[in-house]
Amino acid sequence: MESIPNCPKCHSEHTYHDGTFYVCPECAYEWDPNQATEASDELQVKDSNGNLLADGDDIILIKDLKLKGSSTVLKKGAKAKGIRLVEGDHEIDCKIDGMKIMLKACFVKKA
Ligand SMILES: [Zn+2]
Protein backbone atom coordinates (compact mmCIF):
# COMPACT_ATOMS: atom_id res chain seq x y z
CA MET A 1 0.00 0.00 0.00
CA GLU A 2 1.34 3.37 -0.89
CA SER A 3 0.79 5.96 1.74
CA ILE A 4 -1.57 8.71 0.81
CA PRO A 5 -1.01 12.06 2.42
CA ASN A 6 -3.65 13.69 4.57
CA CYS A 7 -5.90 16.19 2.92
CA PRO A 8 -4.02 19.53 2.67
CA LYS A 9 -7.27 21.41 3.23
CA CYS A 10 -9.03 19.70 6.11
CA HIS A 11 -6.26 17.28 7.18
CA SER A 12 -8.57 14.31 6.90
CA GLU A 13 -6.86 10.92 6.83
CA HIS A 14 -9.57 9.37 4.68
CA THR A 15 -8.05 10.42 1.40
CA TYR A 16 -7.85 8.04 -1.56
CA HIS A 17 -6.26 7.74 -4.96
CA ASP A 18 -8.42 8.39 -8.00
CA GLY A 19 -6.47 8.09 -11.23
CA THR A 20 -3.67 10.62 -11.01
CA PHE A 21 -5.40 12.58 -8.28
CA TYR A 22 -5.84 12.28 -4.59
CA VAL A 23 -9.33 12.89 -3.37
CA CYS A 24 -10.62 13.87 0.04
CA PRO A 25 -14.16 12.59 0.66
CA GLU A 26 -14.68 14.91 3.60
CA CYS A 27 -14.22 18.28 1.95
CA ALA A 28 -14.30 17.12 -1.69
CA TYR A 29 -10.85 18.55 -2.33
CA GLU A 30 -8.86 16.96 -5.15
CA TRP A 31 -5.20 17.50 -5.78
CA ASP A 32 -2.46 16.28 -8.06
CA PRO A 33 0.39 14.63 -6.12
CA ASN A 34 2.78 15.75 -8.86
CA GLN A 35 2.06 19.29 -7.83
CA ALA A 36 2.63 18.66 -4.18
CA THR A 37 4.35 22.01 -3.86
CA GLU A 38 1.05 23.74 -4.43
CA ALA A 39 0.32 24.09 -0.74
CA SER A 40 3.59 25.90 -0.10
CA ASP A 41 2.89 28.03 -3.13
CA GLU A 42 0.27 29.94 -1.23
CA LEU A 43 0.56 33.67 -1.07
CA GLN A 44 2.98 34.49 1.73
CA VAL A 45 3.11 38.07 2.84
CA LYS A 46 5.39 39.19 5.62
CA ASP A 47 5.27 42.42 7.54
CA SER A 48 8.26 44.62 8.31
CA ASN A 49 9.21 42.32 11.19
CA GLY A 50 9.07 39.20 9.07
CA ASN A 51 5.83 37.96 10.60
CA LEU A 52 3.47 36.20 8.26
CA LEU A 53 0.28 38.12 7.62
CA ALA A 54 -3.07 36.51 6.99
CA ASP A 55 -6.46 37.59 5.76
CA GLY A 56 -8.37 39.24 8.58
CA ASP A 57 -5.29 40.46 10.46
CA ASP A 58 -5.04 43.96 11.88
CA ILE A 59 -2.01 45.99 10.91
CA ILE A 60 -0.36 49.25 11.92
CA LEU A 61 1.53 51.61 9.65
CA ILE A 62 5.17 51.99 10.62
CA LYS A 63 5.77 55.17 8.63
CA ASP A 64 3.89 58.08 7.12
CA LEU A 65 2.70 57.26 3.65
CA LYS A 66 1.56 59.76 1.09
CA LEU A 67 -1.31 58.50 -0.98
CA LYS A 68 -0.58 58.51 -4.66
CA GLY A 69 -2.49 61.15 -6.56
CA SER A 70 -3.74 62.99 -3.50
CA SER A 71 -2.51 65.19 -0.70
CA THR A 72 -3.66 62.70 1.91
CA VAL A 73 -0.99 61.37 4.19
CA LEU A 74 -1.55 58.22 6.14
CA LYS A 75 0.04 58.65 9.51
CA LYS A 76 2.46 56.33 11.11
CA GLY A 77 0.53 54.37 13.73
CA ALA A 78 -2.69 54.35 11.71
CA LYS A 79 -4.47 51.06 12.07
CA ALA A 80 -6.27 48.91 9.53
CA LYS A 81 -8.55 46.12 10.61
CA GLY A 82 -9.37 42.95 8.75
CA ILE A 83 -6.88 43.22 5.92
CA ARG A 84 -7.10 41.16 2.78
CA LEU A 85 -3.99 39.82 1.08
CA VAL A 86 -3.71 40.11 -2.66
CA GLU A 87 -1.06 39.28 -5.21
CA GLY A 88 1.01 42.02 -6.67
CA ASP A 89 3.25 44.88 -5.75
CA HIS A 90 0.98 46.12 -2.96
CA GLU A 91 0.02 43.02 -1.07
CA ILE A 92 -2.41 44.43 1.47
CA ASP A 93 -5.92 45.52 0.65
CA CYS A 94 -7.44 47.36 3.59
CA LYS A 95 -9.30 50.38 4.87
CA ILE A 96 -7.83 53.20 6.90
CA ASP A 97 -10.11 56.02 8.07
CA GLY A 98 -12.78 54.62 5.79
CA MET A 99 -10.56 54.84 2.71
CA LYS A 100 -9.93 51.72 0.71
CA ILE A 101 -6.23 51.51 0.04
CA MET A 102 -3.50 49.14 -1.02
CA LEU A 103 -0.35 48.95 1.07
CA LYS A 104 3.04 47.35 0.78
CA ALA A 105 3.64 44.84 3.53
CA CYS A 106 7.08 46.32 4.25
CA PHE A 107 5.41 49.50 5.57
CA VAL A 108 3.26 47.77 8.16
CA LYS A 109 3.47 45.56 11.19
CA LYS A 110 1.00 43.14 12.59
CA ALA A 111 -1.13 44.75 15.30
ZN1 LIG B 1 -10.35 17.40 3.02
Each residue's pLDDT expressed in tens, for the chain with a length of 111 residues: 567 889 999 999 999 998 889 999 999 999 887 765 545 556 789 999 999 999 999 999 999 999 888 888 999 999 999 999 998 889 999 999 888 999 999 999 999
Residue 84 C-alpha to ligand 1 middle, in angstroms? 24
**The whole model's pTM is what?**
0.61
d(CA 54, CA 99): 20
Residue 38 C-alpha to ligand 1 middle, in angstroms? 15
pLDDT score, position 25: 96
Instruction: Look at residues 52, 44, 47, 59 and name the one whose alpha carbon lies nearest to residue 101.
Output: 59
Q: Are 10 and 71 in contact (CB under 8 A)?
A: no
Residue 55 C-alpha to ligand 1 middle, in angstroms? 21
